[in-house]
Amino acid sequence: MSGESDLRKLLGGMRPELNEGTYVFCTVAGPTAPDGLAPVATVLEPEGLTLVLRREDADAAGLAYDHTAGWITLRVHSALDAVGLTGAFAAELAAHGPSCNVIAGYHHDHLFVAAERAAEAVAVLEGLAVRSAH
């Protein structure tokens, strides 16, 4: 099933959803996550494996982090080759101040925003969606 690529439809149908919990970015040596951890996402870089984890899982594993985030999923099914979605929501969030780290999955885009501003970020995205739907 291919995703949506029309920018106006993508923005109007974002339906941002704040997932429960607080998330952190950690790094470990090697290409695999330590046993017992269930990362939300991983990125293998030359410097190590980045893990996106629930904060309590990172704490239990003794992993260091320096930023806590809320996890927002954009419920629109975006095509991997869609153009402009990331730029549009990033510009909107930047205009209001919350930091944002983006990970694209096959079906959805996932935004990790400063934990203390996650609800505000959802409201900003919802406002963008309403304006874009008209």
Q: Does the residue 13 lie in any domain? A: yes
Q: How far apart are CA 101 and CA 52, in angstroms?
A: 11
Q: Is the pLDDT of residue 22 over 80?
A: yes
Domain count, the chain: 1
Over the chain, what is the mean pLDDT? Answer: 94
Looking at residue 1, its pLDDT comes to: 61
Q: Does the residue 1 lie in any domain? A: no
Looking at residue 133, its pLDDT comes to: 85
Token pair for 3: 């995703």
In this structure, are residues 28 and 48 in contact, taking their beta carbons and an 8 Å threshold? yes
Q: How far apart are CA 125 and CA 100, in angstroms?
A: 12
Q: Going along the chain, which residue ranges are E strands?
A: 16-18, 23-28, 41-45, 48-54, 68-74, 100-104, 109-114
pLDDT in tens, 116-132: 999 999 999 999 999 99
115: domain CATH number? 3.30.2130.10
Domain that holds residue 99: 7-133
Q: Does the residue 114 lie in any domain? A: yes
The sign of the torsion formed by the CA atoms of 4, 10, 13, 17 equals: positive
This model's pTM is above 0.85: yes
Looking at residue 120, its pLDDT comes to: 96
Looking at residue 30, its pLDDT comes to: 87
Looking at residue 88, its pLDDT comes to: 94
Looking at residue 130, its pLDDT comes to: 94
Looking at residue 113, its pLDDT comes to: 97
Q: Does the residue 50 lie in any domain? A: yes
Q: Does the residue 95 lie in any domain? A: yes
Q: Does the residue 2 lie in any domain? A: no
Token pair for 112: 């990790």
Closest by alpha carbon to 92, among 42, 57, 130?
A: 130
pLDDT in tens, 39-52: 999 999 999 999 99
